[in-house]
Amino acid sequence: MMMAMMAVMIPLTATETNAQTRRYYRNRTSTTRVYNRPSFYRRHRNVINMGIGTAAGAILGGIIGGKRGAGIGALTGLGGSALYTYKIRPKQRRYYR
């Protein structure tokens, strides 16, 4: 289930360009600065990853154990995805010159 979700997410995020770049355009009278905003996934990465993990855990728990299993699976999925998001693979700041 998680592999299927990731297979859908990869093409959506693979086409993005450099998210935080600044470009300066100069002419004789003024200088204009253009700032590209980061993508939706980059801005909300933690919430998206934890939501996917919670949903996957609830689905698997529901298949295995019914309503109670869905609740337990959701909590387990939330815990695992929080561990992945904040400890195993935290955000890395990217600095460009």
- Residue 52, CA distances (Å) to 38, 59, 86 in order: 21, 11, 15
The type of residue at 5 is M
Average pLDDT, the chain: 78
The distance in angstroms from the start CA to the end CA of the chain is: 40
CA 67 to chain centre: 28
Q: Is the entire prediction scored with pTM above 0.75?
A: no
Which tokens go with 20?
A: 């935080």
User: Around Cβ 24, how many Cβ atoms within 10 Å?
Assistant: 8
CA angle 32–36–41, rounded 5-degree value: 170
CA-CA distance, 47 to 51, in Å (whole number)? 6
pLDDT in tens, 5-52: 666 666 555 555 555 555 656 666 666 666 677 788 888 888 999 999
pLDDT at site 97: 60
pLDDT at site 94: 67
- Regarding beta strands 22-26 and 31-35, do their DSSP bridges make them parallel or antiparallel, or are they unpaired? antiparallel
